[in-house]
Chain A
Amino acid sequence: MQTLRRAFADALELLWSMDSALLEIVGLTLQVTLVALTIALLLGIPIGAAIGLARRLPGRAFLVPLIYTGMGLPPVVVGLFTYLLLSNQGPIGGLGWLFTPAGMIMAQTIIAFPLVLGLTMAAVQSVDPDLPIQMRALGATRRQVALTTLVESRIGVTAAVVAAYGSIISEVGAVMLVGGNIEGETRVLTTAIVLETRKGNFALALALGIILLGLAFLTNLVFHRLQVRQGGP
């Protein structure tokens, strides 16, 4: 209890003091998370919607379980995979992304993409299968049918965004491996928590954890407001 109480006090004090090292960590956390999320959404929503709409896609029986597996990728394995790709001997080592935010964004995108893809696909599939027929009967082109179906599944698609955001911002294994937790360069909230815990600074580690949760909560408040505006529960 003692530790928890001190942690809350420390967290408030840290936030109050606007410590520059902390602000840098929070800033990088948000930057990596939002860039990775944006890339994952730009790729995952259109492809997920296309697969969701193509109910008679050949190879579907294989593709869908593959996507579902991707949704549960162990982040540390993604981190290892990205590490090997980006290392000096790796196929894209020339980019020089290892131990940089760019490398961390790449790993996070690989983690978030299947989540967005799979949940968008499921959301689009959950739209009434008779809706496309009705839309065509109203004179819609194929493109208009697809767009209307995607808009109709917007509550599910928002859930995909929320799930991907949550998985990225709280992820530690991949960013630790690929980023290396370098102070002032690749240190984010989760890797800082690991470091402070190892050093025995439990209060500081907890304080960082509280800030992380606070960030996640604030963002989800925004997402939820969007969902409600779209006619959700």
Chain B
Amino acid sequence: MTPAYELNGIRHCYGERCVVDVPELKINAGEVFGIVGPSGAGKSTLLRLLNFLEAPTEGQIHHQGVLVTSDVSLETRREITTVFQRPMLLRRSVAANVRIGQRIRGPVPKDDTVDGWLGRLGLGGLADAPVRTLSAGEAQRVALARALVVNPSVLLLDEPTGNLDPYNVGLIEEIVRAECAERGTTIVIVTHDPFQARRLANRTALMIGGVMVEVAETNHFFSDPQQPKTAAFLRGDLVF
């Protein structure tokens, strides 16, 4: 099966400072790929590269076997979406926010996709509520619904549960698992919480200082880390 992403010689620098330096990385289609690491490790920047929001300073990214250049096509971009740590909702109703991805793509289909997602995410009664009345957890679930409504083939999650309570974390993780299992969506989740990666990811990577220290099957990553830095990170030691 063609991998969702193949990265070769990727470096992304702001002036002298290189925040991502990944000589080689493959992300399989339909897997949940977890990236853990301390803040400032370049995890979020890597996600922006994978969403083609920025072009890397150096190197090549193949998406589903096709080399993507800096003038990435709209179709390719619209197969991928990101849920960021902050939900970034528009000052409109919940339903209008969830529909925005469809509206961007053309006329909104008259079906019950939006209602369906609102229901699955426990937002059923809130369709007409203005977003400013939502709690943090509800707002983030709206952001997740907004991403899933457009049926992405790749879903990028950047600390999606960073500020949330255990109930909301559980709900969001459940949806992520189901999305991957039912529709085969490729999911890349960046998290500072190794336990979240352990719960969700097929493979987990540790990123420090822009570099992938270790990439392994999640079981091995946690039970038998090959790199001393991984072991230290999992022990909760300060690594850099």
A interface with B by C-beta (< 8 Å): 128, 130-131, 133-141, 144, 148, 151-152, 231
Contacts and interface: CB of A to CB of B under 8 A. Distances in A.
B218 interface: no
A144 B104 contact: yes
Contact of B147 (A128, A138, A141): A138
Given A136-B53, A136-B77, 8 more contacts: A130-B88, A133-B48, A133-B84, A134-B82, A139-B81, A139-B101, A148-B90, A231-B92
Contacts of A134: 82, 84, 88
Contacts of B156: 137
Contact of B104 (A130, A140, A152): A140
B101 A131 contact: no
Given A148-B90, A231-B91, A231-B92, A137 B82 contact: yes
B74 interface: yes
Chief secondary structure at chain B's binding surface? mixed
Given A138-B146, A148-B90, A231-B92, A133 B53 contact: yes
Nearest to A140: B104
A137 B155 CA distance: 10
B130 interface: yes
A138 B53 contact: no
B51 interface: yes
What range describes how many residues of B lie at the interface? 20 to 34
Interface of B: 48, 51, 53, 74, 77-78, 80-82, 84, 86, 88, 90-92, 100-101, 104-105, 130, 132, 146-147, 150, 156
A141 B74 CA distance: 8
Contact of A138 (B86, B92, B101, B132): B101
B100 A138 contact: yes
A133 B86 CA distance: 12
Contacts of B132: 231
Query: Nearest 4 A-B pairs (CB), nearest first?
Result: A139-B78, A134-B88, A137-B82, A138-B101
Nearest to B130: A231
A144 B105 CA distance: 10
A231 B104 CA distance: 22
Contacts of B104: 135, 138-141, 144
30 contacts: A128-B88, A130-B84, A130-B86, A130-B88, A131-B88, A133-B48, A134-B82, A134-B84, A135-B100, A136-B53, A136-B77, A137-B51, A137-B53, A137-B80, A137-B82, A138-B81, A138-B100, A138-B101, A138-B104, A138-B147, A139-B78, A139-B101, A139-B105, A140-B104, A141-B74, A141-B104, A151-B90, A231-B91, A231-B92, A231-B130
